[in-house]
Amino acid sequence: MTTPFIVSTEVSAALAAGSPVVALESTIISHGLPRPRNHEAAKEFERILRDAGVTPATIAVLDGVPRIGLDADGVRRIAEEDLAKASVRDLPVLAATGASGATTVAATAHLASLAGVRVFATGGLGGVHRGASHTFDESADLSTLAVTPVTVVSAGVKSVLDIAATLERLETLSVPVVGFRTTVFPSFWLTESAHELDWSVDSAAQVAAIMRSQDALGHGQGIVVANPIPREQQWDPTEHDRVLSEALAAADAAGIHGKAVTPFLLGFIVTASEGRSLEVNLDLARNNVRLAAEIAIEWALGARA
């Protein structure tokens, strides 16, 4: 039987040495950013980690093989090729058919955990969609984190989702949510939402301590670190509210539903904001990668102690 996934030589060596490693998803590159900005961003995210002394583990499925850590050609492929958007349920299908796919937060967390990578940086977490009481539309990110011991650094969830319901689901699934230097849950493009958090931490070392305590207590869940974009970098709230309202109305008028809703809304928002939302997206992703690097370093230091 062939190995079901491949860990790159670089990532394998770092894990064996107890050095810090951070997982990066590929969907943000293949589906979340326009070409060629997406390739530049993918290389930049990895460079931020390397400059901090952390090994990047960008994750994707290429030619049917889940890969934890991509070489330069792999990074190019996720940026330039038209890849399927792959969640956890799609991994065996891609493997059996030899197809390629960009991994979502759920699939990235799952594969990172299989490889022993404990820290993961993304832009925004998936969540419960608006109207989910009728559609039952909820991201697999939530249920996956309920059984996957990976710490995910995100700028909350996109404001196109139902933030209140998302936080309720995370509570039900016993996934801890801690704000990084904030007591208010962020809403991706904006520093704050209307929802307060029960827990807040002031340092990466505290996050690593929570991870160790969770392991000691036998919990198998992940941890969500809510890392708000700095206020001076957030999207103008007035413009955000206007564009979001227009996007929701346009989706309703066009009869968009199911899996097509979020891509439609995000595409509409980028166009209507004349690219301003995209620049905020990149800023918050960089911010999350930097924090994930700090957490991974603290986690590695604790493992060596």
pTM score over 0.85: yes
164 has binding-site annotation: no
Q: Is 71 annotated as a binding residue?
A: no
Q: Is 139 annotated as a binding residue?
A: yes
H-run or E-run covering 153: strand 151-154
Contact 226, 178 (CB under 8 A): yes
Which two tokens mark 13? 């060596």
- pLDDT at position 187: 94
Tell me whether residue 85 is annotated as binding: yes
Question: Residue 228 and residue 230: Cα distance in Å, rounded?
Answer: 6
Which residues participate in catalysis according to the annotation?
25, 158
Task: Spell out the domain ranges in the chain.
Answer: 1-117, 123-305
pLDDT tens track of the chain, all 305 residues?
A: 466 999 999 999 999 999 999 999 999 999 888 899 999 999 999 999 999 999 999 999 999 999 999 999 999 999 999 999 999 999 999 999 999 999 999 999 999 999 999 999 999 999 887 776 777 777 899 999 999 999 999 999 988 889 999 999 999 999 999 999 999 999 999 999 999 999 999 999 999 999 999 999 998 999 999 999 999 999 999 999 999 999 999 988 998 876 677 778 888 999 999 999 999 999 999 999 999 999 999 999 987 66
Predicted pLDDT of residue 134: 72
Asked if domains 1-117 and 123-305 share a fold, the reply is: yes
What CA–CA distance (Å, rounded) separates 172 from 149?
16
Residue 90 assigned as binding residue:
no
- How far is residue 209's CA from residue 226's CA, in Å, rounded to a whole number? 16
H helix runs in 101-217, sequence order: 105-115, 132-135, 140-145, 163-172, 204-216
DSSP 3-state assignment of 239? helix
Q: Is residue 159 within 8 Å of 187, Cβ to Cβ?
A: yes
Instruction: Give 151's strand partners.
Output: 119, 223
The residue whose two tokens read 């990084």 is 180
Tell whether the torsion through CA atoms of 93, 69, 76 and 104 is positive or negative.
positive
pLDDT score recorded for residue 305: 64
How much is the pLDDT for 1? 45
140 is in an annotated binding site: yes
pLDDT at 19: 97
- Check if CATH label 3.40.1790.10 holds for domain 123-305: yes
Query: Would you tell me which CATH number, out of the four given (3.40.1790.10, 3.30.1330.50, 3.30.310.10, 3.40.50.10330), belongs to the domain 1-117?
Result: 3.40.1790.10
